[in-house]
Structure 1
């Protein structure tokens, strides 16, 4: 005989859903957790009409075809400085993808059909710009890899136009899906991709292959041809992080009140400002002193956060505390080794410190995200015998 149990779902938990009494739900067990959702799971997935991403792609293909035809170009290179599939796809893809992303995000927010309903209007411009930068980085890296694989490849105007259509259609689909599923975890992933992608992009496109013999900040100086990409990445990474903190803490403060939460919030705002300011004031002669001071403020804020996270972060876990102190100790040991010995170069020291600090910040944001997500949407239920 199968033993049955009963779970009562509070009315408040159904407030933001389309469920009615008597509707069937499906229950799954994963990692000792119950996941309850509507029985027809496919209805919960984003439904994207094929015309929404193919029609704009078709329009972009026509523009590409007409323009190249007007320039009397018959053979188009896969990659190149002037007319190429890479340049056409990057320009048209960025414009088309961002327009579709923005329209979809606004539509879903107004009609409250997705996670964007919890975003604030002030957050949207930053997310759009960050998404555009990530799209450019991704397209550049993809075409750079294809160029290395198919050196000097070129195609006729018709084949090139079809390739543009396929690329733009894929970009449009991804951007629509992204706008329909935009959550705090997605924004955190955007922040990660943006910082790492921007760094890799700057390293690939910089004019000096010996940049690592100087220091990490060299990528943002006027001596590097890709300094604009590097600095813009830092500026918008800081702004995107501030947007994420703003989004997270509004929900977090619905459950946790007090001055400690405010202190944590403003320390993270300060961290975001420092990241953006390092890109705004690169390590050029006119900004050298200010750049160094901002970098030190960044280090001080991270150290303060690591030292005080036990008291500032609600419901902090023992594992996170131990990991925080270990990472802080490693960062301190690296600083001592760098100052007292010649074992670490300046670039190696900066990269190691950046890697540890950035990893810890992501872990902290992940902990805050979990508290924020479950804070005001957490309901206590009791399992009873039927």
Structure 2
């Protein structure tokens, strides 16, 4: 086992040693140079690939099934995966990221895979959306060799460059932003591409029942999002341990408790996508309901588990709790349907996560003010 990946004796793999990861500095010159190099290398690949595609399949449309945009999206996903994986691996020695060297090998592998998968999917979806817009603006345009090479080069440059910068500076706040953005973009894409316009008259999980790209996007988003939540739990535990060490959080068990809750929520979210409602209704509903129940428990236990956080955080948490209870009541009395209820609960969960991380980041500043 490599020394830098070995766990310290007697430590919990979910709770790495404390560090200042949340306050990591801006990207260094080395990171910027490496990201630029990755982008330029991808651009060269893009030029060659664009010329090959235009030669093998001339006059491809910009968007649609079997289009140049689809090929570009797959290529962007591939270079994003390579760039992101390399950046995440190399950034372990960056300032504020050294704590990742102490993670158990399996934990680091899970974290790396989740970060790579999410960036890959975002690159693919972003490219498809870009070419769809271009296709609507240049109706009837087909790709010639020159423009195929140029567009493919620019596309792959952006995918590799942006992916490298993002993965090399992965902090807890960046992770929460990535998580919320990914879930939102994936779910929205699934709704737009759903083959049945009336899917919303059934329930939110209906999006995962179609034997189309829409369902693959929806279920894939939930699975990858769940995996990313488990990675997010590791980052949260690290930041909370730092606050416990400084005496800001007074409950010494809070890092382990909160990280364990997020891991459970991540696993349940993934199972919602792994087992669509039309495959096994019981397992699907247990996973979805279980995630909501665990989230509810975290909100209720927050004053005790997260003792030491700013007062405004608890006021905000009680607001989320009230919104959740009101949503349940309105659903029970039939004011809105199952789809609206699922979307509201889904939104509350990830909105609270974003708020929690913001407060976690400034909790130490309040004590030193």
- Superposed CA offset, 1:189-237 (max 9, x none): 1101110011012112221111111111101124665212111111111
Q: How does 1:227-376 map to 2 (within 5 A)?
A: 227-256=215-244, 258-284=252-278, 286-341=279-334, 343-370=335-362
For 1:308 and 1:274, locate their aligned partners in 2 and report how far apart those are by CA, in whole Å. 20
Structure number with greater Rg is: 1
Q: TM-score, normalised by structure 2?
A: 0.81
Could you say which structure has the higher strand fraction? Answer: 1
**1:260 Cα deviation from its structure 2 partner:** 4.1
Quickly say closer, same or farther: Cα 1:283–1:255, change in 2 above 3 A.
same
- SS of 2:143 mapped into structure 1: strand
Which 10-residue stretch deviates more, 120-129 or 229-238?
Answer: 120-129
Could you say which structure has the higher helix fraction? Answer: 2
**1:320 Cα deviation from its structure 2 partner:** 1.6
**1:47 Cα deviation from its structure 2 partner:** 3.2
Point out 4+ residue stretches in structure 1 off by more than 4 angstroms.
41-46, 378-381
Aligned to 1:19: none
- Superposed CA offset, 1:308-353 (max 9, x none): 1001014222212112112211221221122123x21221222222
> 1:281 touches 1:287 (CA, 8 Å); kept in 2?
yes
**1:368 Cα deviation from its structure 2 partner:** 3.6
**1:276 Cα deviation from its structure 2 partner:** 1.3
Aligned to 1:153: 141
- Superposed CA offset, 1:238-292 (max 9, x none): 11111111122134225526334433332222222221111112111x4102212
Q: How does 1:1-386 map to 2 (within 5 A)?
A: 46-48=31-33, 50-69=36-55, 71=56, 73-82=57-66, 84-109=67-92, 112-119=93-100, 120=103, 121-122=108-109, 123-222=111-210, 225-256=213-244, 258-284=252-278, 286-341=279-334, 343-370=335-362
- SS of 2:33 mapped into structure 1: coil
RMSD: 2.9
- SS of 2:176 mapped into structure 1: helix
- SS of 1:154 mapped into structure 2: coil
**1:131 Cα deviation from its structure 2 partner:** 1.2
For 1:265 and 1:181, locate their aligned partners in 2 and report how far apart those are by CA, in whole Å. 21
Which consecutive residues of structure 2, in runs of 5 or more, have no partner in the other structure? Answer: 1-18, 245-250
- Superposed CA offset, 1:2-54 (max 9, x none): xxxxxxxxxxxxxx9xxxxxxxxxxxxxxxxxx9x9xxx99768432654422
**1:151 Cα deviation from its structure 2 partner:** 2.5
